[in-house]
Amino acid sequence: MAIFEDLTTMGHEQVVFCHDKTTGLKAIIAIHDTTLGPALGGCRMWDYKSDEEALRDVLRLSRGMTYKNAVTGLNLGGGKSVIIGDPKKLKSEALFRTFGRFVDSLGGRYITAEDVNIRVSDIEQVGLETAYITGVSSRAGGSGDPSPVTAWGVFQGIKASVKYKLNKDALKGVSVAIQGAGAVGSHLVEYLVNEGAKVYVADIDPEKVKSNVKLYGAEAAQLHEIHKLDVDVFAPCALGGFLNDQTIPDIKAPIVAGAANNQLLDEIVHGAMLKERGILYAPDYVINAGGVINVYQELQGYDAEIAKKKASGIYDTLLAIYQQADDQQITTNAASNMIAEQRIQSVRAMKDLRNTMDNQTWVQTSRGRGR
Ligand code: NAD
């Protein structure tokens, strides 16, 4: 019964438990909300300690996708799936094809893609059994690596934040400290340097720092110093949970805007802490939405330029969020949640009204027939 309590509190529509003895598949698909369209969200494979832990994760992640897709303006609902087990031991074509049949049985209410421990090739195997996939390789006609478009969205988000907080239209002379020079971080370095920003990078992998210094003229910074630098923007592009009690007091930058998922260790406490310190925080799921914009574009027929153009919309989305947060004296993450909820509620009200009208028409027509 506790499961239904959770579903009621969190607002989920449907949760599907998938089991197959032959392949060892144990998966959960969570459809949080389909008001705006089919529920899109990646599939994660993880060796969860318990089924409860897997359930909690998929419920939390699928709800997050509803907010992300809604605030980004996509005609998509939120969903997510998890496959329980050690990816090194359990992965097989049969497992992914079986999972694909479960996805297919939902008739398009849920569309899957890659997430942690799931590669493009795994999703392509899922795709042998269902059309409801996205994020396949460019070789197979898909959108391929999403990181250039994600980084483009983050770049636009940094520009919006600099405009709002520092009233600057251009990034020339603006300084940015990037934590994590991986797939997204490196593209971001390039976009920023091309616009005349001064960029600092730190990464646990020294080779990645070296290549960004060499290729783009970024300046190397110490791992434990990167968030303390006296710069205009701190851009976390590595880990979740980095914004916490220990790190926030050390941040000198007036703006935090980066690609990493789940940056706030505690959404309420640390969102408020940043606000109290006068730091403008770009909600992570908004600024890093280029990835989902990219796979959404694949569903419409992929075009990299169109995907990039749509990711540029993150600029205006963030400005609206910042304005609403200031107007209502709330945190930017609360404002973003509010905008997402308002969009869903207004579409839901419109659909309810249409259903009521359809029902009335049906009643009148059948009465007419009865006469
Ligand atoms: P990545 O693995 O390519 O890059 C992450 C980088 O961070 C790596 O170079 C790694 O060495 C470095 N790193 C790890 N721990 C670190 C630490 N303590 N300090 C400094 N550097 C550290 O991943 P990515 O695809 O670039 O994604 C980066 C972040 O953005 C992740 O949080 C990811 O979930 C999020 N994100 C990525 C995309 C995408 O399109 N790839 C989309 C949305 C969100």
* d(C-alpha 366, C-alpha 361), whole Å: 8
- Domain 2-133 and domain 147-335, same fold? Reply is yes
Whether 116 is in the pocket of ligand 1, judged by its Cβ within 6 Å, is no
Mean per-residue pLDDT for 356-361?
A: 81
Contact assessment for residue 242 and residue 263, using Cβ atoms and an 8 Å cutoff: yes
Ligand 1 center from residue 356 Cα (angstroms): 47
Give the whole-number percent of the chain exceeding pLDDT 70.
99
68 a catalytic residue? no
| Domain range summary for the chain, segments of one domain joined by + | 2-133, 147-335
180 lines ligand 1 (CB under 6 A): yes
For residue 113, pLDDT over 90 is answered with: yes
Q: What CATH number has the domain spanning 2-133?
A: 3.40.50.10860
Instruction: Give distance in angstroms: CA of 307 to centre of ligand 1.
Output: 21
Catalytic residue among 68, 80, 198, 310: 80
> In whole angstroms, how far apart are CA 73 and each of 37, 70, 240, 266?
11, 5, 24, 26
Q: Across all residues in the chain, what is the average pLDDT?
A: 95
The pLDDT of residue 370 is 62
The CATH label, of 3.90.1640.10, 2.60.120.620, 3.40.50.720, 1.10.10.10, for the domain at 147-335 is 3.40.50.720
How is the beta sheet containing 255-256 ordered, strand by strand? 219-220, 198-202, 175-179, 233-236, 255-256, 280-281
DSSP 183-242: HHHHHHHHHHHHTT-EEEEE-SSHHHHHHHHHHH-PEE--TTTGGGS--SEEEE-S-TT-
Pocket of ligand 1 contains residue 293 by CB under 6 Å: no
Dihedral sign (CA 120, 90, 184, 291): positive
Confidence (pTM): 0.91
Q: Per-residue confidence at 35, pLDDT binned at 50, 70, 90? A: very high
pLDDT for the residue 4: 84
Three-class SS of residue 20? strand
The per-residue pLDDT for range 246-302, each reduced to its tens digit, is 999 999 999 999 999 999 999 999 999 999 999 999 999 999 999 999 999 999 889
pLDDT recorded at residue 1: 53
**What number is the average pLDDT over the span 189-218?**
97
Which helix (DSSP H) or strand (DSSP E) does residue 102 occupy?
helix 93-105
Q: Is 261 in the pocket of ligand 1 (CB under 6 A)?
A: yes
pLDDT tens track for 206-243: 999 999 999 999 999 999 999 999 999 999 999 889 99
Atom of ligand 1 nearest to the CA of 284: 44
Q: Which residues pair with 81 in a beta bridge?
A: 29, 43
In the chain, what is the straight-line distance between the N-terminal and C-terminal CA atoms, in Å?
48
